[in-house]
Amino acid sequence: MGRKRAYFLLQSARLREVTLTLRSYFVLLTDQLRGIFRA
């Protein structure tokens, strides 16, 4: 029981980390695209 809960917490933390990383990459990409279209 405790092990399953720890595994779930680890997965949720990893998912949050991946989501934040993807969001930052997406922001960088949109900024670059905006600069290209503006030029």
Cβ neighbours around 29 below 10 Å, total: 10
pLDDT of 38 reads 87
Q: Would you give the end-to-end CA distance of the chain in angstroms? A: 57
For the chain, the domain total comes to 1
Query: Count of residues for the chain?
Result: 39
Distance, CA of 35 to CA of 39 (rounded, Å): 6
Give the per-residue pLDDT at 12. 97
- pLDDT in tens for each of the 39 residues of the chain? 689 999 999 999 999 999 999 999 999 999 999 999 987
Domain around 6: 1-39
Taking the complete model, does pTM exceed 0.75, yes or no? no
- 3-class DSSP assignment, residue 31: helix
pLDDT, position 23 = 98
Local structure of 3: helix, strand or coil? helix
